[in-house]
Amino acid sequence: MASLPAYVPGRKIPGAIVLASNESPYGLLPGVADVLAERTGSVSRYPDMVSSELIATIADHHGVEPERVAVGAGSVEVCGQLASAVVDDGGEVVFGWRAFEAYPIITAVAGGAAVKVPLDAQHVHDVDAMIAAVTDRTRLVFLCNPNNPTGTAIGGAELRRLVLGIPSDVLVVIDEAYREYVDPDAVPDAFELLGDRPNVAVTRTFSKAYALAGLRVGYCLAAPDVAAAVRKCQVPFSVSGLAQAAAVAALGDREEVARRAKLTIAERDRVRAALVDSGYDVPPSQANFVWLALGGRSAAFAEACLARNVIVRPFAGEGVRVTIGTDAENDAFLDVALSL
C-alpha cells in the first residue's frame, strides 16, 4: 500500500473556472435531465445488476452483439475489471508514459508490475518501443488513444502495427475515453478496425462528451469471453439504476452530443493556435484538452492561473493539461496564458 501511487483529482474551488478534469462544460444533456427527474424515486431499490437495457442499447449503438459489451462504474472501473481479469501476480502491464494516471494504480491493485514506455519527442506513443517492452510476463497493454494528458493520438496504420506486434495471448486495451473529439479520418474507431481480434478490447465512457462524469458509467467492447470475464470482475450493483437510465438516454441524444463535441473541437483548435502563436509548445490535440509542455515551469504556470481564478492541471516537471471549456472560460484562460 505504501508504494501505491494516489490518484490526484483535478482541484475544485467554488466560483473558480475549472479546466482541470476534462469534463463537459455544457451541463446535462436535455434528454438525460428529464429521465433523472422521473427516476429519482427508484433509488430505494437495487438496480438491474446486469444492466441489461444499457448493454442492449450500447450494443445497438455499435452494431455488435450484447455478449461483446461489459459495463462498469466509469471506464476507470472497467479498466480495473480488465486488469483483474487478466493480470496475475507479478504479471507485467505495459503502457506509454505519461498516459492516464490511473493505469499504474490499476496495475498495482491487480498485483501486476507497471512497465512505463516513454512517449516520443512529439509526446506521441512510441509503438516500436511499446512492442519491444512486451515480454513473456506481459499480460496487458494499455493504449490511451487519444492520450491523456497530451491529447496526441496514433492513426490507423500505427494502431494496426501495435496490435499485430503484440502476441495474441496478451490483452490490448485501447482506451477511447475521448473518442467523440477525434477526427475520424485521422484516427479510426479501434473496435471497427481491430475488434475482430480476440485479444483487443476498447473502452469508452459517458463521463466526457456525454456529460455524465458524476454518475459513473463506462464500458468495454471485447471478445465475448473477455467481456464475460470483465462482467465477473465488476463490483455487484456498481452501476446505479439512475446511471443506467441516464446513459441510455444520453445515447439517444446523439445529435446534441455531436453538436457539443463540434463546439469543443473548434474551441480546442482556437486555444491551441493562440498558444502556439505566442510561443508555447502544444502538440496537436484530438481530445477535449490541450497539453502545454512547460517542463519545470508547470507548477508556477498553474499557480499563476489559480491566482486569476482558473484551475488547470499541472504535472510537476512535465507540463500542464488544460480542459477546453466554454468560449468565455477559454478566453479567461488565454488572458492568463498570453500574459505570462
Ligand X SMILES: Cc1ncc(COP(=O)(O)O)c(C=O)c1O
By beta carbon distance, the residue nearest ligand X is 74
| Residues from 9 through 68 that contact ligand X (CB under 6 A) | 22
Q: Is 113 left (phi over 0), alpha (psi -120 to 50) or beta?
A: beta
| Minimum CB distance to ligand X smaller for 95 or for 280 | 95
| Minimum CB distance to ligand X smaller for 109 or for 213 | 213
Q: Which residues, in sequence order, are bridge partners of residue 93?
A: 114, 140
From candidates 144, 163, 173, 230, binder to ligand X by CB under 6 A: 144
- Which letter does DSSP use for residue 297 in this model? G
From candidates 24, 51, 75, 199, binder to ligand X by CB under 6 A: 75
From candidates 207, 286, 298, 323, binder to ligand X by CB under 6 A: 207
Q: Is 15 left (phi over 0), alpha (psi -120 to 50) or beta?
A: left
| Minimum CB distance to ligand X smaller for 215 or for 302 | 215
Provide the 3-class DSSP secondary structure of residue 265. Answer: helix
The contact pattern for ligand X, residues 177-196, with x = CB under 6 A and - = no contact, is: x-------------------
Beta carbon of residue 180, minimum distance to ligand X (angstroms, whole number): 13
Q: Does 152 bind ligand X (CB under 6 A)?
A: no
Provide the 3-class DSSP secondary structure of residue 85. Answer: helix
Beta carbon of residue 277, minimum distance to ligand X (angstroms, whole number): 27
Q: From edge to edge, which strands make up the β-sheet containing 171-175?
A: 69-72, 218-221, 200-205, 171-175, 138-144, 92-97, 113-118
Q: Does 218 bind ligand X (CB under 6 A)?
A: yes
Q: Does 109 bind ligand X (CB under 6 A)?
A: no
Dihedrals phi, psi of 138, to nearest 5 degrees: -70, 130
From candidates 113, 114, 213, 276, binder to ligand X by CB under 6 A: 213
| Minimum CB distance to ligand X smaller for 150 or for 336 | 150
Half-sphere exposure of 158 (CA within 13 A, CB side): 17
| Residues from 280 through 339 that contact ligand X (CB under 6 A) | none
Q: Does 250 bind ligand X (CB under 6 A)?
A: no
d(CA 178, CA 77) in angstroms, rounded, equals 16
The contact pattern for ligand X, residues 160-179, with x = CB under 6 A and - = no contact, is: ---------------x-x--
By C-alpha distance, which of 147, 144, 225, 157 is closest to 186? Answer: 157
Q: What is the DSSP string of 42-77?
A: GGGS---TT-HHHHHHHHHHHT--GGGEEEESSHHH
| Minimum CB distance to ligand X smaller for 174 or for 337 | 174
All three cell numbers of 214, joined, read: 458524476
> How many residues form the binding site for ligand X (CB under 6 A)?
13
d(CA 9, CA 275) in angstroms, rounded, equals 25
From candidates 25, 47, 74, 325, binder to ligand X by CB under 6 A: 74
Contact 209, 260 (CB under 8 A): yes
In the complex, which residues of this chain contact ligand X (CB under 6 A)?
A: 22, 74-76, 100, 144, 148, 175, 177, 205, 207, 213, 218
